[in-house]
């Protein structure tokens, strides 16, 4: 896919400080990152280095203590909760390590749920959910509950769900962390497929083999990007 | 939108444990009480009104003071009341009534029954004023003695063997021949035995002490004016607190006010149960919010606004309330109909229960609102959860 020079995500000197009673945890310490449209960026780093915190902030799940986060040129640290929710719903698709499907809903209903919150009509929801589940090769499992699906299948449902509102950005926080390497590869295959269709992808992973699929690997240590960046391609 | 929410909620209900359903019990009891109560008291009010219409609208009732139960035996009016009333220009005629419990023998059986003495001078006038018809036999003739007219249930149900016309019953040792049987009334008359006043005076050793006097107001006289005047003059003559004189409307009012007091107590119970139910729902909802913290985080991550989460949880608690309300309406209706059946078995067949659809709608709406109100605090907590924190929750 042709890369443009246009930034879609830009973090400028972002600090995140969690205060738990008297203890202050500096999860991010001046993180700067620039992700271009259609880019596939892998983030690596030791556990506790702030990867999830960074990804959650890009995904508007939280706002920085200081610093700026620009999503499509808009500063999300200035937005209210309701606007953030709308942006999450429309522009971001999440894939979590723990799948995080709603256990009481079927695969189909899980994929339709993000569209419910955007007010999509029932007809459109069903059509799109079916398409997406077929794309992740689960067209024959649409009425299954998460508990009736394997880990890899659940993660594919989660991928389908992340695409429900056709977002520009997919955020995957250790999407293969709970899967064996074979199913992990399968999930990776679908993420690459999404990248080819033009999505911007940020993926957190420990696995060097999977990270190699990305256009660029960023190393996060102690809440900032390590300066010697490895570039690929 | 609501439809999708309902789907979400119903699915989560399926996963609920029995424990959280038991918390709705308070709502069920409260709504049951409300529905049963309103239906029964409506039925009762109708029955009482009907019974009072049977008394006629132009008769005054003079009763002994401080009554606690039926005016029978020693609870009687002072001497002189009857004479005064008879001479009053407002009054057409009076029905002097003696009521007394007595042993009644029939066959080899002996029962303790209510005897109602009737002034034979009135012939059938006193009966027709009460809308009381004789089904078999005839009314008393003037001056007749030694005969009895019996209530429907006395004739058909009281004794092992039905009491037929022409047979004899023995009241406090004295023989009476049955000359008439009343039709079924649905009220206490079915269980009474009517004997002539002259016989009763001897039998129960009464001279001029009656338990009740019904005074028929002359045509064209305003019943309230009659009541006020007679009350004033008779009080002057006999003193305070010796008697009470009521128009049918006043009696109705009195009984309804007793009914009202009973209702207040029951309404109180209903509201306490509802309060308990509300606390139960609140507790269940807090548990639900806690158990589904992660789910809430996920929903927020995929675009649910605080308002969406709030609506979802409010609707959920509202539905819990509504579910309790539905069960309560059903149980309450069953109880109300059972009361009707029991009342009929006890001889009070005027009570007819109908469940008003407005009562049902009110009860359901009320239960729903109670559910929503008790879910408000938990819903606010759910809506206010920070997405990152909710997603980290284990
Ligand atoms: N909500 C929170 N409250 C307090 N501390 C947190 C919170 N989220 C993350 N942290 C802390 O911030 C640091 C970075 O966490 P995280 O971003 O989850 O790291 P990673 O994903 O790289 O393992 C850790 O020390 C973690 O304990
Ligand atoms: Mg992490």
Average pLDDT over residues B332-357: 85
Measured between CA atoms, how close is A177 to chain B, in angstroms?
16
Indicate if the pLDDT at residue B347 is higher than 70: no
Q: Mean pLDDT, to the nearest integer, of B64-79?
A: 76
Structural domain includes residue A46: yes
Within this chain, do residues B179 and B62 fall inside the same structural domain, yes or no? yes
Identify whether residues B277 and B236 lie together within a single domain. no
Helix axes of B25-54 and B306-345: crossing angle, nearest 10 degrees: 40
Q: Are residues B258 and B230 in the same domain?
A: no
What are the tens digits of pLDDT across the range A197-211?
999 999 999 888 889
At residue B69, the pLDDT reads: 67
Q: Examine the pLDDT at B145 and tell me if it is beyond 50.
A: yes
> Which is it for strands B59-63 and B244-246: parallel, antiparallel or unpaired?
antiparallel
> Is A141 part of a structural domain of the chain?
yes
Which range among A126-135, B18-27, B336-345, B352-361 has the greatest average pLDDT? A126-135
CB-nearest partner of A117 from B7, B297, B304? B304
Task: Give the per-residue pLDDT at B301.
Answer: 95
**What pLDDT band is residue A4 in, cutting at 50, 70 and 90?**
low
Ligand that comes closest to the CA of residue A49: 1
User: What is the span of the domain harbouring residue A105?
Assistant: 38-63+81-231
Minimal-distance CA residue to ligand 1 atom 26: A48
Give the mean pLDDT of B144-160.
91
Spatial distance between the Cα atoms of A27 and A20, rounded to a whole number of angstroms: 12
Give the pLDDT confidence score for residue B329 in this predicted structure: 95
Closest by CA position to B260, among listed B50, B44, B55, B70:
B44
Q: Looking at CA atoms only, how far is residue A88 from chain B in angstroms? A: 5
pTM given for the model: 0.75
Residue A98 lies in a domain: yes
Q: Is B256 exposed, middle or buried (0-12, 13-18, 19+ CB in 10 A)?
A: middle
Give the helix/strand (H/E) hosting B21.
helix B18-22
B231 and B363 in one domain? no
Check whether A230 has a pLDDT greater than 60: no
pLDDT tens-digit map of B89-127:
888 888 888 898 899 999 888 989 999 999 888 888 888
Of B297, B305, B391, the CB nearest to A85: B305
Q: Find the residue in A nearest to B4 (Cα).
A: A116
The whole-number pLDDT of residue B17 equals: 64
Whether residue B10 lies within 8 A of chain A, CB to CB, comes out as no
Domain that holds residue B352: 2-52+253-392
- What gap in Å lies between CA B126 and CA B215, rounded to an integer? 10
Q: What pLDDT score was predicted for residue B1?
A: 66
Looking at the structure, tell me whether residues B104 and B202 fall in a common domain: yes
Angle (deg, nearest 10), helices A107-116 and B2-14: 140
B131 and B25, same structural domain? no
User: A100: which chain B residues are within 8 Å (Cβ-Cβ)?
Assistant: 294, 297-298, 301, 391
Same domain for B227 and B207?
yes
Residue A166 lies in a domain: yes
Domain stops at, among B246, B277, B298: B246
Write the pLDDT tens digit of every residue in A115-161: 999 999 999 999 999 999 999 999 999 999 999 999 999 999 999 99
| Banded model confidence at residue B239, pLDDT cuts 50, 70, 90 | confident
pLDDT band at B68 (very low <50, low <70, confident <90, very high): low
B143: helix, coil or strand? Answer: coil
State which ligand 1 atom lies nearest to the alpha carbon of A174: 21
Task: Report in angstroms the alpha-carbon separations of B364 from B29, B285, B361.
Answer: 13, 20, 5
- Please give, rounded to a whole number of angstroms, the shortest distance from the CA of B12 to a CA of chain A: 6
In the DSSP assignment, the letter for residue A2 is P
The answer to whether the beta carbons of residues B347 and B157 sit under 8 Å apart is: no
A-chain residues within 8 Å CB-CB of B387?
56, 61-62, 88
Segment 126-165 of chain A within 8 Å of chain B by CB: 161, 164-165
Residue A233 has pLDDT above 50, yes or no: no
pLDDT at B364: 95
Q: Yes or no: say if B298 and A56 are a contact pair by the CB < 8 Å rule.
A: no
**Would you say residue A12 lies in a domain?**
no
- Tell whether A90 lies on the interface with B, counting CB pairs under 8 A: yes
- Asked, for residue A168, whether it belongs to a domain, the answer is yes
Mean pLDDT of the A3-15 span: 85
CB contacts of B12 in chain A (<8 Å) are 104
With residue B115 as reference, give the H or E element that holds it: strand B109-118
Q: For tokens 């508990």, what's the residue?
A: A147
Residue B351 or residue B367, greater confidence:
B367
B241 & B262 share domain: no
In the reported structure, the alpha carbon of residue A186 is separated from the centroid of ligand 2 by a whole-number distance in angstroms of 21
pLDDT at B182: 92
Comparison of pLDDT for B267 and B391, the residue scoring more: B391
**How many Å lie between the alpha carbon of A110 and the closest alpha carbon of chain B?**
10
Question: Beta A92-95 vs A224-225: how paired, if at all?
Answer: unpaired
Residue B336 has pLDDT above 80, yes or no: yes
pLDDT computed for residue A3 by the predictor:
52
Q: How many domains does chain A have?
A: 1
Ligand 2 centroid distance, CA of A58 (Å): 14
pLDDT for B129 equals: 79
Inspect the interface and report whether the beta carbons of B4 and A116 lie closer than 8 Å.
yes
Same domain, B176 and B262: no
Domain total of chain B: 2
Mean confidence (pLDDT) of chain B? 87
Ligand 1 pocket list (CB less than 6 A): A 18, 20, 25, 27, 45, 47-53; B 388-389, 392
Ligand 1, pocket-test mutation among A20, A25, A31, A97, most atoms within 8 A of CB: A25
Position A9 in a domain: no
Query: Which among B188, B216, B246 is the end of a domain?
Result: B246
Q: Say yes or no: B172 and B65 in one domain.
A: yes
The confidence score (pLDDT) of residue B18 equals 66
Q: Is residue A8 part of a domain?
A: no
Q: Is the pLDDT of residue A1 over 70?
A: no
* Contacts (Cβ under 8 Å, ≥6 apart) of A198: A1, A38
Give dist(CA B314, CA B375) in Å, integer. 6
Of B213, B246, B279, the last residue of a domain is B246
pLDDT band for position A2 (50/70/90)? low
| Structure ipTM over 0.90, yes or no | yes
B222, B266: one domain: no
d(CA B26, CA B325): 10
Q: Does one domain contain both B36 and B150? A: no
Structure confidence at residue A226 (pLDDT): 84
A38-91, pLDDT tens digit by residue?
999 999 999 999 999 999 999 999 989 999 999 988 898 888 888 999 999 999
We report the CATH number of the domain holding residue A193 as 3.40.50.300
In the prediction, which pLDDT does B328 show? 94
The Å distance, Cα A32 to ligand 2 centre, comes to 18
Going by pLDDT thresholds of 50, 70 and 90, the confidence category of residue B79 is: confident
């Amino acid at each position: 896919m042709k890369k443009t020079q246009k930034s879609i995500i830009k973090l400028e000197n972002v600090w995140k400080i969690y205060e738990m009673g008297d203890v202050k945890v500096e999860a991010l310490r001046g993180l700067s990152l620039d992700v271009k449209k259609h880019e596939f960026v892998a983030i690596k780093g030791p556990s506790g280095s702030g990867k999830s915190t960074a990804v959650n902030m890009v995904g508007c799940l939280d706002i920085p203590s200081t610093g700026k986060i620009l999503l499509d040129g808009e500063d999300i640290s200035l937005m209210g909760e309701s606007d953030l929710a709308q942006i999450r719903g429309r522009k971001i698709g999440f894939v979590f390590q723990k799948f995080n499907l709603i256990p009481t809903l079927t695969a189909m209903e899980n994929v339709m749920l993000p569209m419910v919150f955007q007010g999509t009509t029932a007809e459109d929801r069903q059509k799109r959910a079916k398409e997406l589940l077929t794309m992740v090769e689960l067209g024959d499992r649409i009425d299954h509950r998460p508990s009736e699906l394997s880990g890899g299948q659940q993660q594919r449902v989660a991928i389908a769900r992340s695409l429900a509102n056709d977002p520009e950005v997919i955020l995957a926080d250790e999407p293969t962390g709970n899967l064996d390497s074979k199913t992990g590869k399968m999930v990776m295959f679908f993420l690459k497929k999404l990248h080819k269709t033009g999505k911007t992808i940020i993926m957190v992973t420990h696995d060097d083999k999977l990270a190699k699929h990305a256009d660029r690997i960023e190393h996060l240590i102690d809440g900032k990007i390590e300066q010697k960046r490895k570039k690929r391609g | 939108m609501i439809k999708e929410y309902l789907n979400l909620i119903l699915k989560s209900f399926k996963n609920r444990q029995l424990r959280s359903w038991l918390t709705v019990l308070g709502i069920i009891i409260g709504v049951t009480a409300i529905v049963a109560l309103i239906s029964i008291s409506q039925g009762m009010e109708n029955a009482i009104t009907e019974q009072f219409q049977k008394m006629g609208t132009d008769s005054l009732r003079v009763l002994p003071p401080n009554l606690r139960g039926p005016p029978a035996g020693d609870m009687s009016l002072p001497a002189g009341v009857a004479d005064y009333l008879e001479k009053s220009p407002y009054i057409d005629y009076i029905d002097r009534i003696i009521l007394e419990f007595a042993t009644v023998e029939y066959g080899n059986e002996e029962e303790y029954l209510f005897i109602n003495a009737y002034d034979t001078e009135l012939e059938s006038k006193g009966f027709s004023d009460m809308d009381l018809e004789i089904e078999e036999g005839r009314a008393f003739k003037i001056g007749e003695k030694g005969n009895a007219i019996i209530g429907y249930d006395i004739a058909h149900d009281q004794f092992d063997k039905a009491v037929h016309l022409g047979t004899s019953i023995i009241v406090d040792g004295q023989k009476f021949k049955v000359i008439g049987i009343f039709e079924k009334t649905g009220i206490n008359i079915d269980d009474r035995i009517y004997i002539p006043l002259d016989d009763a005076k001897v039998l129960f050793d009464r001279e001029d002490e009656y338990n009740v006097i019904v005074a028929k107001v002359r045509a064209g006289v305003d019943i309230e004016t009659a009541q006020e005047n007679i009350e004033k003059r008779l009080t002057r003559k006999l003193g305070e607190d010796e008697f009470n004189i009521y128009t049918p409307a006043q009696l109705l009012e009195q009984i309804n006010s007793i009914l009202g007091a009973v209702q207040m107590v029951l309404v109180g119970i209903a509201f306490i149960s509802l309060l308990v139910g509300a606390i139960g729902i609140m507790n269940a909802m807090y548990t639900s919010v806690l158990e589904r913290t992660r789910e809430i985080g996920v929903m927020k991550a995929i675009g649910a606004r605080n308002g969406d989460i709030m609506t979802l949880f409010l609707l959920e608690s509202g539905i819990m309330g509504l579910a309790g309300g539905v069960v309560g309406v059903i149980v309450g209706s069953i109880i109300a109909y059972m009361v009707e059946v029991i009342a009929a078995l006890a001889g009070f067949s005027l009570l007819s229960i109908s469940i008003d659809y407005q009562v049902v709608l009110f009860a359901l709406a009320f239960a729903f609102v109670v559910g929503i109100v008790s879910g408000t605090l938990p819903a606010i907590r759910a809506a206010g959860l920070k997405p990152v924190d909710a997603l980290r929750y284990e």
